[in-house]
Every structure is written in C-alpha cells, then in structure tokens.
C-alpha cells in the first residue's frame, strides 16, 4: 500500500557518523545498504592498551571532535582546535591515551565497549563491557538505521540522540514491525532503541551535561527513544522523502 504512515512522516534530516561517537555529517541524500547509511560508523577509535572501542559513554570528549568522510573511502578527524588528522600519534596526544583509528574491515572478532553501571556516580562506578555489532560499528546488532521524529524530540536537541534520519511529524513507534519505503530504499522497523548515558553528555555547539534527559526517557518513554531498522531493499534516501508502507 502506498498511503502515508503515522501522520505523514517525512525525511527532514539525514546524518552519517563516519567515526563512532564523534560528531557527524549532515547529508542531503545518501545510499542506504545492508550496513545502513553509506559510511555510517565505518570507523572507530580503539584504546590500544585495553582493546576496547572508545565511545562517549567512557570518553565524553569524543563528542567535541568530528568525523569527516574522504572521497577515497577513508576518514579524518577534526579536533576541537581545528586540527584535521587521521594520524594515530596526533589522535593519541589529543585523547591522552594510545589510540588507533580503525576501519570496521580491519577489526576481526568481537567488538567490545564499556558502559557505566551507575549514571549518578560515574567516577566511582564499575564500567561493564558489552559487545557491539559486526560489520559497521553499531552498538546494536539488530538495527542499522535509526529514525527519530520531531514530535518525539519535543524541546530536546536532536544531536543528543545521533539518529540517522530525523523525521518531520510524529508517530515512529507505530512503525515497529512494519516495512516502510523512503525514496527507493525499504526498511524493516524492528524495534525501539534503548538509550544510555550518551544522551546526557555535553557536546560541541553549547549542549551541556544533563542527566535529566535519560531520567525522563526512562520515566516517560520506558527507556527507549527512536526506532531502529534494518535495510530490506538498498536504495537512495533523500531529504523530503515521505515514508510509506511498503
């Protein structure tokens, strides 16, 4: 059926995050494939000593740097002082630890990250390891594209939630279990996305630390915000595309 869904949801913004947990790139259009938005989470910084992939859960400073895609398929990192680099030594100096910038294809075996057990007392809390997806560096192996509507966002800054697709309208939760079409791509919406401490982190652009964000998500949204999807049919997605039931 070709009717609009959930209040005529339409693609308002598209985001790619070339390096996990760094700021991303806003796109007008993109190819969507089995790993999601082309180039999304294709690279990550790894702590050489521990082997853990770094995220802004553990290293909040990552959110003040940006990942940028290069035409040759590589990436570079724009540091807070404006330095543009892909050099591990420069990145290590900035991070205050020895790090390596690695592509997903360079990392074999399980990917491990860390998450705090106590949001209120992070400095003294235990940090628990968890396993991420194979392929691109997504946390959740069950979803490759995240979609979040302006209706759900309300007054929150959408940058806190790092969704690939920001939708104008409301009602994305009603899409869970459905196949939707946007542009020439088709997505199977598999579930709501659980949220973590990253939503509370300060970021470049004047976003301050706010633990109330996650508390509200747990109290009013059951701990999840936005929906996750896998790509049923690769295709092109563009700003302005309407979501329809496939």
The band of 104, judged by pLDDT with boundaries at 50, 70 and 90, is: very high
- Cα angle 167, 13, 242; round to 5: 50
Which stretch of 15-24, 175-184, 201-210 has the lowest confidence by average pLDDT? 201-210
pLDDT of 8 > 60? The answer is yes
What is the pLDDT at residue 142?
87
Q: Give the residue-averaged pLDDT of 224-231.
A: 97
Q: Mean pLDDT, the chain, as a whole number?
A: 92
What is the pLDDT at residue 166?
98
Q: Please indicate whether residue 126 or residue 240 has the higher confidence score (pLDDT).
A: 240
- 45-69 pLDDT, tens digit per residue, is 999 999 999 999 889 999 999 999 9
Local structure of residue 220 (DSSP, 8 states)? H
Burial tier of 26 (Cβ tally within 10 Å: 0-12, 13-18, 19+): exposed
Percent of the chain with pLDDT over 90: 82
What is the pLDDT at residue 123?
67
pLDDT of 202 > 90? The answer is yes
Q: Give the residue-averaged pLDDT of 86-102.
A: 97
The band of 10, judged by pLDDT with boundaries at 50, 70 and 90, is: very high
What is the pLDDT at residue 3?
43
Taking the CA atoms of residue 208, residue 209, residue 212 and residue 216 in that order, the dihedral angle to the nearest 10 degrees is 80
Contact criterion met (CB below 8 Å) for 178 and 189: yes
Percent of the chain with pLDDT over 70: 93
- Beta-carbon contacts of residue 154 (< 8 Å; ≥ 6 apart): none
Q: Give the residue-averaged pLDDT of 169-180.
A: 97
Local structure of residue 173 (DSSP, 8 states)? G
pLDDT of 216 > 80? The answer is yes
């Amino acid at each position: 059926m070709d009717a609009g869904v959930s209040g005529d949801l339409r693609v308002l913004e598209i985001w790619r995050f070339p390096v996990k947990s760094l700021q991303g790139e806003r796109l007008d259009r993109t190819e969507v494939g089995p790993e999601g938005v082309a180039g999304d989470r294709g690279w990550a910084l790894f702590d050489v000593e521990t082997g853990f992939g770094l995220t802004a859960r553990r290293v909040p400073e990552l959110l003040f740097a940006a990942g940028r895609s290069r035409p040759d398929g590589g990436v570079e990192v724009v540091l807070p002082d404006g330095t543009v680099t892909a050099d591990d030594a420069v990145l290590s100096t900035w991070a205050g630890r020895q790090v390596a910038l690695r592509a997903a294809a360079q990392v074999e075996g399980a990917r491990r990250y860390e998450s705090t057990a106590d949001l209120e007392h992070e400095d003294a809390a235990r940090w628990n390891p968890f396993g991420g997806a194979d392929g691109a560096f997504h946390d959740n192996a069950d979803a490759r594209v995240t979609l979040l509507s302006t209706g759900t966002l309300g007054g929150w800054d959408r940058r806190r939630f790092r969704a690939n697709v920001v939708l104008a309208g409301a009602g994305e939760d009603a899409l869970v279990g459905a196949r939707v079409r946007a542009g020439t791509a088709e997505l199977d919406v598999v579930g709501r996305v659980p949220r973590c401490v990253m939503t509370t982190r300060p970021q470049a652009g004047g976003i301050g630390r706010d633990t109330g964000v996650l508390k509200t998500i747990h109290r009013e949204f059951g701990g999840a915000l936005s929906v996750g999807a896998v790509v049923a049919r690769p295709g092109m997605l563009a700003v302005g595309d309407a979501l329809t039931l496939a």
